Structures are given as structure tokens and as C-alpha cells.
Amino acid sequence: MNSSQLRAKISGWNLSQTEFAQWLQVSPGAVTQWLAEARAIPGPVIAFIKLFESLPSSLQTLQLSQVKGHSDMEGMYVIEFAGSAGVGGATLTFKDGKVYGFDLGGGIYDGHYRAGTQSGTTEVEVVVKMPAGSPSVIRGIVQPFDWTVIAKAILPNNVTSTHVQVQTNMGEAVSAKFTRMRGLPLAA
């Protein structure tokens, strides 16, 4: 495989060089060097491409949507949310399909995200561990022990800020504004 063939494949998959690099877990500089013929394309990369192309088209489409979904969402976000009993704020980090962060009330967020079933969306699910004695924005619930809230949302890709309804296992949705603060540093 030569550089023009690799460039055609990356373009045909509708991936940027950075997305392709993240998919292979290599630096964007490595991909740039392959495309500029400054370095040979490694054998394992060629084998990966051949294996990928041998998959049924439905699996190729699913894999590419996950690559696009992850690279589109990876980054750090500030969340402003409101429920029936008040407002709050949180920070979330999206990386490699995982979501983690914390909120101003002491809640700890752990969850996952994946490409949505609707094109151009990402599905997010987090478990929020609420500390004992901390009131929730959902009906002002306070428990004398640590407890959890499960929150699910569908976010549009490629936006810097959006408002969504977050569904919870408490029977009440929370209104949330997601604002992308920055991307994550690229691996060297």
C-alpha cells in the first residue's frame, strides 16, 4: 500500500487524519509522515486495513460511526443543570468511550458513551454517586447514606454547546446545558 492509496481510504471512510490516528492509537504525526512518504506505512497498519475491509459493510459502518462518535465527543465539558429542586454544575471528561467527573454537590460521575443509533448523535449514560446528606436537584431528595442516580442523554455531535433533557431513574428529567471547554491532549 502506498501513501496515495492510504489517503484515498482515509478520505473514503470520511475520516480526518487525526480521527484515523486516534482509531489506530498512533500520533497524528505518524499518519502525516506515512502520507508524505517520509516513513513507510507499517505492516500492522496495512494488515489492520485489510482486516477492516474484509468485514461486512454493516460492521464497517458501525465501526466508523463509533470512531467518529468518540473523536467528536472526546474532551472536557462543563454542565449546568436544573431540576425541580434547584440548579447545579458539573465537569465531565469524555475519553475512549468512558465518561467521568464530579459536580458542585459532591456527586461523582462514572459512565460510558457510544455512537448513537441516530446519525450524528452520541448516547451517554452515567451513574452519579451522591454523598450522604447532599441534596439532589431532583425533588430535593436527601439520603442519610451514599446513593446513586442513573442519568441518560442523547447529545448531538460537533457542537460546542447544547441543551438537552437528561432522563433519570428517579422518574424526573433534568434540563442540562453541555458546553465543550476543550479537547484532550493528543498522544505523543
**Coil vs helix vs strand at 11:** helix
The pLDDT value given to residue 120:
78
Predicted confidence (pLDDT) at residue 95 exceeds the cutoff of 90: no
Predicted confidence (pLDDT) at residue 82 exceeds the cutoff of 90: yes
**Coil vs helix vs strand at 130:** strand
Q: What is the pLDDT of residues 116-152, one digit of tens each?
A: 777 778 899 999 999 999 999 999 999 999 999 999 9
The CATH fold assigned to 73-182 is Lipocalin (2.40.128)
d(CA 30, CA 187): 11
For the chain, report the end-to-end CA distance as a whole number of angstroms. Answer: 25
**Domain-wise residue ranges, the chain:** 3-54, 73-182
For residues 40-51, average pLDDT: 94
Q: What is the pLDDT of residues 35-45, one digit of tens each?
A: 999 999 999 99
For residues 98-110, average pLDDT: 95
**Confidence class of residue 183 from pLDDT cuts 50, 70 and 90?**
confident
Q: Which residues pair with 33 in a beta bridge?
A: none
**Confidence class of residue 102 from pLDDT cuts 50, 70 and 90?**
very high
**Identity at 170, one-letter amino acid code:** M
